[in-house]
Structure 1
Amino acid sequence: MVVQRLPPRSGRPRPHWLRRQRALPDQGPLERALRMRDEFRRSQLSIAALFGFLGFQYSTWAARIPMLKSSLDLSAAEVGFLLLATGIGAAIAFPIVTFLMTRLGSRRLALLACLGLTLVLLSLAVVPNQPIALAVMLIDGVLVACLNVAMNAQGTALEVKYERNTMAKLHATFSGGIFVAALLASGVTAVTTNLLTHFVIGAAVLVALIVFASGGLLPTDLPTTEKQATEKQAKGKLTIPTGTIAWLAVAMVFGTVVEGAMNDWSALYLRDIIGAPAAVLPLGIAVVSATMLITRLFADARRAAWGDRQVVLAGATIAGTGLALALLIGGLVPTLIGFACVGLGMAAVTPCLYAAAAKQGPNALTLVATMGTLGLLAGPPAIGALTNATTLLYGMAAVALSAYLVTACTTQITWTKSPTTHPVPAPD
């Protein structure tokens, strides 16, 4: 026990901070490890709250699209434009996010984006017409891009600081947020169809997540390397991404094309090509989503054992091969197994790509995240155009090819390891 001795008393009163000093125990290696483990857990849960926030916010308003359509008297085409506005907002947000990340840092940007998205959710409940709704959705897209970059920057900084892989678990929390919001939407709709009531309840959940997240977010981002320092000197100039950043961006496009296409086309494939009954159609997206969620919960251990490069190579290959074999064999059971291979293989691909991009600097992360949004936005329509020209079988074959293209891009990427910091020897 080490006792901090106080100086002898004099006529002047001691400062309040000195009066409160007490004996402090000596901190050995075990105590330091336990303290760092607690700090890691606190930050991990706070950052996970950001991922859960984004999934919950998106799923809350997406679940009430039919009600928005009715309340605003929109046609199917106008609903499509409404959804497209979000994608456009995210796609044009690159310079905005780059500027805000430089000025605010990921912690403040994430919290401000969360506050903005909460207001967006409440605004959607009271928008009077389509033009205002389009403006709100455009803002939603910009704020989603801000939060997407900021929370992935926080997740990567956490991995580097404590030398522990956690990005896959964080992305699993995003999927969990979507699931919880869908359950809440179902429960609220069973009681009342009032949109404002639902969104006020959703906003209350979002505020609780903001409060929880604010206590443990990391105050600083990854340190700027010598290579990234040139970004500050190139303000206002057009810079060409390095080869690694370009390949990361292309890989992210193809990776998100696979995820988005499976969400949009799996049920139609089961109906039109396999001839599955209506009751079985939801199993397509359910199989992909469930396997992806479960795999993300345990993928960080594989990242630690194999490294991100091998995880992406193996995952994209499993997804492409499983889906290709399912298309060749046909039948309901082989198809569902192939869909499960897609969820299993692609689960850790985008978390690894985000982590690799964040290590290249905030501009690289912003670019790669924007390209990911582009893949989600343009991928499913591109598959639809191919399907209209041929059949959905060829459209799904293009999805399998996209997974293989992720593998090809991965071989061209220079993967960096986390710098040596202070490891935390506690199990996950």
Structure 2
Amino acid sequence: MDVTLTRSQVVRWRTAVFAVFFLSGLSVATWASRVPALKNALEIDSMQVGFLLFGAGVASIIGLSVAPLALSRLGARRAMLTSIVIFAVGVTTIGIGADVAHSFGIVIVGLALFGLGNGSVDVMMNVEGAAIETETGKTLLPLFHALFSVGTVAGAGLGALAIALDLNVLAHAVIISAVIVLVGIFATANVPSREEAMDPDAPGVGEKRPWRERLSRSLQAWREPRTYGLGLIILGMSFAEGGANDWLALGVVEGHEGSEAFGALGLAVFSLSMTVLRIAGGPLVDRFGRVLVLRVLSGFAAGGLLLFVFAPTFPLILVGAALWGAGVSLGFPLGMSAAADDPRDAAARVSATATIGYVAFLCGPPLLGIISHSIGILNTLLLLVGLAVISGLASGAAKPLPASTSPSNTPAATE
């Protein structure tokens, strides 16, 4: 850190970043909860819904890529607030496209804004979370990511309430967007100005390096082997997490001939296990280090998947789902934490590493669906076992950098 902060400032900063993670999850679940209404309002088929989802994913990847540029131009506070406003406007635009214009094109524009803003803020909030880890000496990114999950639960719940109250998509979107912007304004106001975050008004900032020089430095991460090692960690775990979100319930129903209720229960167990590990994961990492925790959890993921696929009874299927959820819980947040070890290049490295994870989220589920047509859903899930093992083998890339002051830079963490 380049600025000495009081304890109350650190607490406000931490709370602010918790709020940004929550808002991101809230926005995702808000529009996702109204997909059926969007489909009816636009009179489109499932393939066209798939194009909408793909468009949002591509825009998210673009947002990840431009985040370091936005940080270099605007600094952390203004860049983060700008991104929040962009994805809030995107949510409202989706509502306008659905209920006012009944236009597929306008909804695509809304989703592009939504994905662009959310992708950008994803990098920024992870960079800020990693900086708070350095300031406090504690591993907190798993807990920050748990707040994202809480936001998605809240968004889904509010979506169900909006449907019960017979609110159309636009009214629902406007209310949530207003909340997002208002909370975002108050939250980002409590993010301290820091030279490391390239804030122009940060104490001690001298003459800025030329923008082209900062741009060149932001692209340096793609030339570092460690980026690809961290990318493998996140790739394997993101693939396994995305595969569960889209195919676990169907695996119970079609693969194990269970009911739809059992399928939903299996997904709920997976999600609960993942959230609990994210809440409790920080102290484990501080005690045993990133590398060991990631290796153990990759074993949990691989073992859970094998048990899920081959379990002869439903209780064992649920045990497999729980191990699967626990195993994938910390891959993404610890990968982000490791990418941000050096605060000077945190934004560029987080952007590059997160891009690999987002590609897995975007391409993984459709690819699994294509493969499952030939070999069946349970056999397809076995591919995730190999990816989990690869993630574990690559976990050494998460070892803290020699000069890092990250909270995991302990003897246990550097094994």
- Give the TM bin, normalised by the shorter chain: 0.7 to 0.9
What's the offset of the Cα at 1:412? 4.4
Distance 1:134 1:221, change over 3 A: farther
Distance 1:237 1:201, change over 3 A: closer
Distance 1:413 1:305, change over 3 A: closer
**1:55 alignment partner AA:** G
1:154-209 deviation per Cα after TM superposition (whole angstroms, max 9, x unaligned): 00011112212211111000000000111111112111142222112212321342
Aligned length: 384
**2:299 alignment partner AA:** T
2:270 alignment partner in structure 1: 288
2:105 aligned with 1:131: yes
**1:194 alignment partner AA:** N
Normalized per residue, which structure has more helix?
2
Distance 1:283 1:231, change over 3 A: farther
Distance 1:200 1:131, change over 3 A: closer
On the 8 A contact 2:301/2:328 being kept in 1, the answer is yes
**Structure 2: distance between partners of 1:246 and 1:321:** 25
Distance 1:219 1:330, change over 3 A: farther
On the 8 A contact 2:142/2:330 being kept in 1, the answer is yes
What's the offset of the Cα at 1:413? 4.6
- Residues 45-56 of structure 1 aligned to structure 2 (within 5 Å): 45-56=15-26
What's the offset of the Cα at 1:366? 0.6
1:195-224 deviation per Cα after TM superposition (whole angstroms, max 9, x unaligned): 222112212321342133123213226479
Distance 1:286 1:123, change over 3 A: same
**RMSD, matched Cα:** 2.4
2:196 aligned with 1:214: no
SS at match of 2:96: coil
**2:335 alignment partner AA:** L
**2:161 alignment partner AA:** G
**Structure 2: distance between partners of 1:282 and 1:220:** 45
2:358 aligned with 1:398: no
2:250 alignment partner in structure 1: 268
2:77 aligned with 1:92: no
What's the offset of the Cα at 1:402? 1.5
1:370-422 deviation per Cα after TM superposition (whole angstroms, max 9, x unaligned): 1111010011112112211211121111122221111011134543374289x
What's the offset of the Cα at 1:117? 1.1
Distance 1:233 1:181, change over 3 A: closer
Distance 1:284 1:404, change over 3 A: same
**Structure 2: distance between partners of 1:411 and 1:62:** 36
1:388 alignment partner in structure 2: 373
What's the offset of the Cα at 1:141? 1.6
2:237 aligned with 1:255: yes
**Structure 2: distance between partners of 1:238 and 1:222:** 17
Kindly name which structure, 1 or 2, has the bigger radius of gyration based on alpha carbons.
1
**Structure 2: distance between partners of 1:380 and 1:327:** 17
What's the offset of the Cα at 1:236? 9.9
SS at match of 1:359: coil
Report the TM-score when normalising by structure 2.
Answer: 0.86
**Structure 2: distance between partners of 1:344 and 1:416:** 26
1:161 alignment partner in structure 2: 135
- Residues 342-361 of structure 1 aligned to structure 2 (within 5 Å): 342-360=324-342, 361=345
**1:419 alignment partner AA:** T
1:290-331 deviation per Cα after TM superposition (whole angstroms, max 9, x unaligned): 111122111111111111122211111111112213323332
2:405 aligned with 1:419: yes
**Structure 2: distance between partners of 1:246 and 1:256:** 14
On the 8 A contact 2:22/2:147 being kept in 1, the answer is yes
Pick aligned residue for 1:122 from 86, 89, 92? 92
On the 8 A contact 2:248/2:266 being kept in 1, the answer is yes
Deviates more, 1:389-398 or 1:49-58: 389-398
What's the offset of the Cα at 1:253? 1.6
Pick aligned residue for 2:174 from 200, 205, 218? 200
On the 8 A contact 1:120/1:140 being kept in 2, the answer is yes
1:147 alignment partner in structure 2: 121
On the 8 A contact 1:106/1:153 being kept in 2, the answer is no
- Residues 314-325 of structure 1 aligned to structure 2 (within 5 Å): 314-325=296-307
1:58-87 deviation per Cα after TM superposition (whole angstroms, max 9, x unaligned): 100110011111111212111110111011
Structure 2: segments with no counterpart, 5+ residues? 199-208, 408-415
What's the offset of the Cα at 1:126? 0.8
Structure 1: segments with no counterpart, 5+ residues? 1-32, 422-428
Aligned residues with identical type, % of pairs: 25
